A = this chain, B = another copy of it.
Amino acid sequence: MHTRTLPAIGFLILGILVLAGCAQAPIALRDMGSFHVGGRDVEISGRPVKEIVFTPGGVPAKVDPNGTYSVEAMYVQYFLPAERRGVVPLLLWHGGGLTGVTYETTPDGREGWLTYFVRQGWDVYNSDAVERGRAGWAMYPDIFKSEPVFLTKANPFERFRIGQGAGSYSPDPAKQRVLPGSQFPVGAYDNFVKQNVPRWTTTDDAILRAYVAEIDKVCPCAILFHSQAGQFGFRAAQARPDKVKALIAVEPAGIGDPRQAAALKGIPVLMLYGDFIAQDARWPQIRKNGIDFTEGIARAGGKVEVVDLPNVGIRGNSHMLMMDRNNLEIAALIQRWLEGQGLYH
């Protein structure tokens, strides 16, 4: 489904548009669509049949909870530009308690990284990991083994280096203690928390299995991953080192298996961190875990580039770099790095 042939005139005409250097040129796609991948079947037995009226005034339907459930697949949505310039597809993996919405329009309505990279000519695969968003979730404690975690509105504000740590959030914007110089579009914070979805702490193996299934379906590829997906990005690449041509770790909160660091020696890694880390209660340790892991890769002969954005003059970034006001400046930095890896023409 990804290989529709475009008539030559299409390429010619799109070429004219691109050569015109027109920033408002349409996004021309040779295809777009979605699929689910991975997952497994689980049997549930010994439970009573229920009669459920699904719609008020509707006809009651018997629902037998016993039987086979399809669980732990993930959702992938793809956008394939008419003029493909990325040598391999670019996979975008979101962080914990979030979905692929992370990379779409920013909470304040600006362009996000998804369309930025599509406009650059990358085949982009954006996804919802197992347990969230359009991937769906499974009953607990029968299938998922713990309760879900819900975050208050205050939690990401104080934990994602938007506010000045614990106690900095207030429902009254005038009383919020935002980090001075923050690039987060704090006026649209309420739109950001609407993107949050419940998460579990016991589904990591299932999430990783589905990501590996995505790699088996879509790759060779480059993978850009954020926060919680640090562990998934590095571990999935360790499981399929031949299929991963580049890793972009955006503030990874987890790491791969340090004992298998050498598996990554053939994969260039870019690691990005935003601002305000030294003064945070948790981020110095989180960053150190990431750096220690990449040093293992480097010792094995791998190529890792760590960029602390303030060191290259990009200041004020929260944990949600891809929706900060300067998000496209950071996307451009990633784009240049990918070009430097020979993955773009």
A54–B207 Cα distance when bound, in Å, is 14
List A residues 227-275 near B (Cβ within 8 Å).
228, 230-231, 253-255
Chain B contacts for A279, CB-based, 8 A: none
A171–B96 Cα distance when bound, in Å, is 33
Given A4-B24, A30-B26, A32-B27 in contact, is the A198-B59 Cβ separation under 8 Å?
Answer: no
Q: Interface residue count for A (Cβ, 8 Å)?
A: 101
Tell me if A201 counts as interface (CB < 8 A to partner B). yes
- Per-position 1/0 for A48-59, Cβ under 8 A of B: 000011111111
A135 smallest CB distance to B (angstroms):
8
A62–B154 Cα distance when bound, in Å, is 12
Given A20-B7, A61-B282 in contact, is the A153-B26 Cβ separation under 8 Å?
Answer: no
Tell me if A307 counts as interface (CB < 8 A to partner B). no
Given A1-B105, A34-B101 in contact, is the A137-B198 Cβ separation under 8 Å?
Answer: yes
| A138 near B152: Cβ-Cβ < 8 Å | no
Q: Hey, which bits of chain A sit against chain B, CB under 8 A? A: 1, 4-7, 9-10, 13-14, 16-17, 20, 22, 24-36, 39, 41, 44, 52-59, 61-70, 73, 75, 77, 79, 82, 96, 99-101, 104-105, 109, 111-112, 115, 128, 133-134, 136-139, 148-155, 159, 166, 171, 190-191, 193-199, 201, 204, 228, 230-231, 253-255, 282, 285-286, 289
